[in-house]
Structures are given as structure tokens and as C-alpha cells.
Amino acid sequence: MKLKLIFLLFFAFAGCLSAQNNSNDPKPKKEDFSDDWANISKYKKENELIGLPKKGEKRVVFLGSSIFEFWKQKDPEYFNTHGYVDRGISGQISSQLLIRFRQDVINLKPKAVIILAGSNDLAGSKGHVNNETILNNVKSMAELARKNHIKVILCKYLPIYEYPWNKTLKGAADQIISLNEAIVAYAKENNFTILDYFTPLVDDRNGQKAAYTTDGVHPNLAGYKVMEVVTDEAIRKTIGK
């Protein structure tokens, strides 16, 4: 009887120790992505799943920031029905697009890439970013694309009168116009397709028409529908139907 009691006490004590140890186990740490400045990891799984283009597929990658990322959120059918690949990441500057160009463009083997870059560079500038900085990054991406037999479509940026999150930044409209002029000149020199998002959306202040935008920077669904028309025209011009 005493032996049974000893065993019972032993197992009860062991159970208490186990429960105490479990309660003291540290919680699993959230993975730290601070070393992934360009957020290459964002589309890693999707890139693995999408694989290489199927026979006859004319894949087009949309590389940019929030304008492109929000586009697929607002009108996913546009991308799904055409087989377009959206690789926009909100808030990114042109340097970040360049860093992830291999993972999110080259490795996907598209027929063409649409590059929309520059606005976030200007919006967050502390005086160290200018059109030359942005254009150099665009040039590097275009050269990488051409080297890998990918057709290049360069965008005239959407009109922006002011950034609602940085109203102290003056002259945004003029900066966008100047950047667009530099991009167009470079595209013409190199026979790249120009995709004009500026003209169909611009108002008399060189900002976006109120009917087409949510905040003066990002399009609403109606604005994206306008962009879809000119985008499809540029793609047909570049790689055919």
C-alpha cells in the first residue's frame, strides 16, 4: 500500500514539474525580416508556385509600388483573366525595385515588364534624391530586362498635385512632370515602349482628376479602369495580342 502511494506521489510530482516547465517555455519568436530591406520575401512563395510560363503564354510582370499592389486588390479579375503578374509593394522606392528585379521579374521569364517607379523616391526625399537617381535605377532595370530578352515598358507616372502624408513637400506636380520627361526621353533613345498614365488622369492643376482617385495619389476603381485601357494598348504594341 505504501509502495503504491509512493508511486502515485512520484507521478503527481513529475506531472507538476512537466506542466511548470511547459509554462516557462519561451514563446516562439516572430521571424525577423529587418535584413530584407527590399522585401524580396513578400512574393517568394507566389513566385515558386507560379513557375515558368506555359507554352504560348505571354506573361507580363507589373513592377512598382502601391499603385500596382492596390490595383490587383481593387480589380483582381483584370490580372487573373489576362495572366498578368502583379509585383507591386506599397511604399517602395526605385532602389528597392532594382534589388528585387531578379526574383520578381527575371526569374519569372516574362515576355515584358512594366516598370512604374519614382513617386515614393520624391515623396520621402530628404534632399538626396533627384530625377537622376531615379532614372539611373530605371536604366539599370531596363538594361537587366533587355539582357534577359524581356521587352521593356516604361511608365509616365500618374499626376500628383500633392502627397496627403507630406504636404510640406512643395512642387510635387512639377517634379512628376520633370521625371516623366526624363523617362520618355530615355525610352525613345532605347526604343522602349512608353505607357502614359499621366495624360488620361490629369486635371487642370496637374493632379489627378477627382473622379479617378481616392486621395490624389492612388486611383480608385474607375481610375484603374482607365489605366487598364492604355496598359493593354501598350502591351499589344510591345508583344502583340
Would you place residue 5 in the very low, low, confident or very high pLDDT band (cuts 50, 70, 90)?
Answer: very low
Q: Give the start-end residues of each E strand in the chain.
A: 60-64, 84-88, 112-115, 151-156, 193-196
The domains of the chain, with CATH numbers, are 55-239 (3.40.50.1110)
pLDDT at 13: 46
Burial of 210 (0-12, 13-18, 19+ CB in 10 A): exposed
97 vs 36: CA distance, rounded Å: 13
pLDDT at 196: 98
- pTM score of the predicted model: 0.86
pLDDT at 169: 85
Give 51-72 pLDDT, tens digit per residue. 999 999 999 999 999 999 999 9
Give 165-180 pLDDT, tens digit per residue. 888 888 999 999 999 9
